[in-house]
Structure 1
Amino acid sequence: MKVSKRVEEKKKKENRYRLVVFSDSTFEEIRSFTFQPWYIWALIGGISMLVITIIIALLKFTPLGTLIAPSDYTDTEELIGLREKVLELEESAQAQTLYINSIRRLLSGEVVEDSETSPAKIQDDSILAIPRVQEDELLRRSFDLEQQLQVVSTQPAVSSSERRLEQLFLIPPLTGSISMEFDLEKNHLGVDINAPANTPVKAVLSGHIIFSGWNLETGNTIGIQHDQNLISFYKHNSSLLKKEGAFVKAGEAVAIIGNTGTLSSGPHLHFELWLAGKPVNPTNYINFQ
């Protein structure tokens, strides 16, 4: 009895099914397929896994996933990144504005004095430091202080920047005779150099063009930013050969000598050197002959 049951169970396990395809008109057998029941389950499982894999891939690697399930975390990261970029751009714009304003002051010939080292500041601090004494002692010390200030004003100090400038080899923008010297008291912040017409004006050092344009008083003007916090200006040119932002090498022609601007009284080059925001005498560092 037990043997017959085992045989029946084995036959059930070995049961096979046949799928037959008939012709609709002649009922003739066209094709047949033999399979076991587990084939169907395997096929259903395989198709299901394939569909699930395709759905996961679409959600992960295509924008469809963000539409169905947007990620707040990703959006937050993007917003933070954009905010940081905006702050960087604002700081850069402010720095650029300050830089442009300083260049405009230089073009207009404005000299900004250091409030910490000006004679007025020294005098005020020294007076505050004087203790209360008798009136004659106070007058004597005040007179001594004035004498010291006069000595300091007549002996210009040589800064570390000027010492570094003396070590540089500056190429003359052109060779010629100097018609007007540097004179800070008369607000003539450079030197005027006479040269033949159409003489090219050269860069004294390598640097970037920070200004190249027209000014009512100085005509066609070019400004070059060099290393060591040094800026050179070339004014009253007939034409300009370089644009703002361009890099020029030492000795490269940047303009042609001319007679432009209301402050020009004849063909010449007005050349200025500014070190750390203050004008310096170009003849101390360049031989124009």
Structure 2
Amino acid sequence: MAKKKRKTKEIKKKLLHKYRLVILNESTFEEKISFKLSRLNVFVSGTIAMIFLIGLTTLLIAFTPLREYIPGYSSTALKRKATELTYKTDSLVTVLNYTNQYLENVRKVLSGDVANNEVNRDSLFEQFKLDPNTVDLTPIKEDSILRAQVALEDKYNLFETEVRDRTLNFFPPVNGMLSNGFNAQEKHFAVDITAAVDSPVKAVANGTVILSEWTAETGYVIILEHGDGLLSIYKHNGKLLKSQGEIVQAGEVIASVGNTGELTTGPHLHFELWSHGNPMNPSDYLDFN
């Protein structure tokens, strides 16, 4: 026991024994700096300094881009980019293989090298050949209706029948007396309706204004498009109440009767009706009285 106590006291004495670290001027031996040290202080200070350096190094590696310079250490972003590049490379390789195969097939076709074609044309013809006895040629209901419509078109003017059916929804543009009727031979593709000045001119059907302006020969003109190739034209108006691009309803006032333009002979409405570029006689579809 005595020996152990003696050894402990000696170790403690050595650890706590004071030393003095002096820094001298080499030429004059003047004391510049001095430190009082003990072995215990040096050990504790060195341990703390090592822990601090280890912690600082860990922080620098974990939270700064310096970690990317350490061999074997890769960031999540780099891994993600590497994965994306791998997928893109695989896709490009696949596209390149398809392109090479396509170019090879084109080369064979251009050079006439089709002798080694593995496709048996006779087997294809045999596979897709139909037996007429297995086909049901009984006409269906829709086919019968279509045949009836075609037969009607051959017998009558189906287009004109369509227009006549649509006139059921037409609205008279103005009420008055016909002063000049439709005459295709004289190229008068309209009817002239006499009416009092400033009488309202109405749209014959729902439509869109595609022209609303002044012309020297026909005065104030407004043209409506009603869909399915149908146009209605109103000329020699006194005033225009709708502008180009506006949508109007059947019976809505769009202008007023006037006597404008060089070709007018008095207050009246010059009304034209066109369907798919063909002039139609408005008297066949409208009653102006």
TM-score, with normalisation over the residues of structure 2?
0.51
By how many angstroms is 1:45 displaced?
2.4
Match of 2:56 in 1: 40
Question: Whole-Å Cα distance in 2 between the matches of residues 37 and 51 of structure 1?
Answer: 16
Question: Whole-Å Cα distance in 1 between the matches of residues 159 and 58 of structure 2?
Answer: 85
Match of 1:17 in 2: 49
Match of 1:165 in 2: 163
Match of 2:264 in 1: 264
SS at match of 1:286: coil
Question: Whole-Å Cα distance in 1 between the matches of residues 287 and 259 of structure 2?
Answer: 23
- Structure 1 gaps of 5+ residues are 1-10, 19-34, 57-156
Question: Whole-Å Cα distance in 1 between the matches of residues 221 and 209 of structure 2?
Answer: 11
SS at match of 1:183: coil
Question: Whole-Å Cα distance in 2 between the matches of residues 209 and 41 of structure 1?
Answer: 79
Cα gap change, 1:281/1:51 in structure 2, threshold over 3 Å: closer, same or farther? farther
By how many angstroms is 1:196 displaced?
1.5
Question: Whole-Å Cα distance in 2 between the matches of residues 15 and 239 of structure 1?
Answer: 103
| Cα displacement string for residues 32-54 of structure 1 (whole angstroms, at most 9, x for unaligned residues) | xxx532211222124424999xx
Question: Whole-Å Cα distance in 1 between the matches of residues 64 and 201 of structure 2?
Answer: 80
Match of 1:245 in 2: 245
Cα gap change, 1:234/1:50 in structure 2, threshold over 3 Å: closer, same or farther? farther
SS at match of 1:173: coil
SS at match of 2:161: helix
By how many angstroms is 1:16 displaced?
1.8
Q: Aligned Cα RMSD in Å?
A: 2.6
Question: Whole-Å Cα distance in 1 between the matches of residues 163 and 267 of structure 2?
Answer: 29
Question: Whole-Å Cα distance in 1 between the matches of residues 253 and 52 of structure 2?
Answer: 92
Q: How many residues align?
A: 159
Task: Please say if residues 161 and 275 of structure 1, whose CA atoms lie closer than 8 Å, have aligned partners that are also in contact.
Answer: no
By how many angstroms is 1:270 displaced?
0.3
Question: Whole-Å Cα distance in 2 between the matches of residues 160 and 51 of structure 1?
Answer: 84
Cα gap change, 1:51/1:37 in structure 2, threshold over 3 Å: closer, same or farther? closer
Task: Please say if residues 259 and 266 of structure 2, whose CA atoms lie closer than 8 Å, have aligned partners that are also in contact.
Answer: yes
Match of 1:122 in 2: none
Question: Whole-Å Cα distance in 1 between the matches of residues 190 and 181 of structure 2?
Answer: 7
SS at match of 1:165: helix
TM-score, with normalisation over the residues of structure 1?
0.51
Match of 1:221 in 2: 221
| Cα displacement string for residues 190-212 of structure 1 (whole angstroms, at most 9, x for unaligned residues) | 00001122111111011111111
By how many angstroms is 1:158 displaced?
5.6
Within 5 Å, which residues of 2 pair with 1:1-289?
Answer: 15-17=47-49, 36-49=52-65, 159-168=157-166, 169-289=169-289
By how many angstroms is 1:185 displaced?
1.0
Question: Whole-Å Cα distance in 2 between the matches of residues 165 and 247 of structure 1?
Answer: 22
Task: Please say if residues 61 and 67 of structure 2, whose CA atoms lie closer than 8 Å, have aligned partners that are also in contact.
Answer: no
Question: Whole-Å Cα distance in 2 between the matches of residues 236 and 51 of structure 1?
Answer: 87
- Structure 2 gaps of 5+ residues are 1-42, 69-76, 78-154
| Cα displacement string for residues 207-257 of structure 1 (whole angstroms, at most 9, x for unaligned residues) | 111111111111100011112210000000011111111111111111111
Question: Whole-Å Cα distance in 1 between the matches of residues 65 and 55 of structure 2?
Answer: 15
What percentage of aligned pairs have identical amino acids?
39
Report which of the two structures shows the higher radius of gyration computed on alpha carbons. 2
By how many angstroms is 1:171 displaced?
0.4
Task: Please say if residues 165 and 228 of structure 1, whose CA atoms lie closer than 8 Å, have aligned partners that are also in contact.
Answer: no
Task: Please say if residues 161 and 228 of structure 1, whose CA atoms lie closer than 8 Å, have aligned partners that are also in contact.
Answer: no
By how many angstroms is 1:260 displaced?
0.6
Question: Whole-Å Cα distance in 1 between the matches of residues 256 and 229 of structure 2?
Answer: 25
By how many angstroms is 1:15 displaced?
2.3
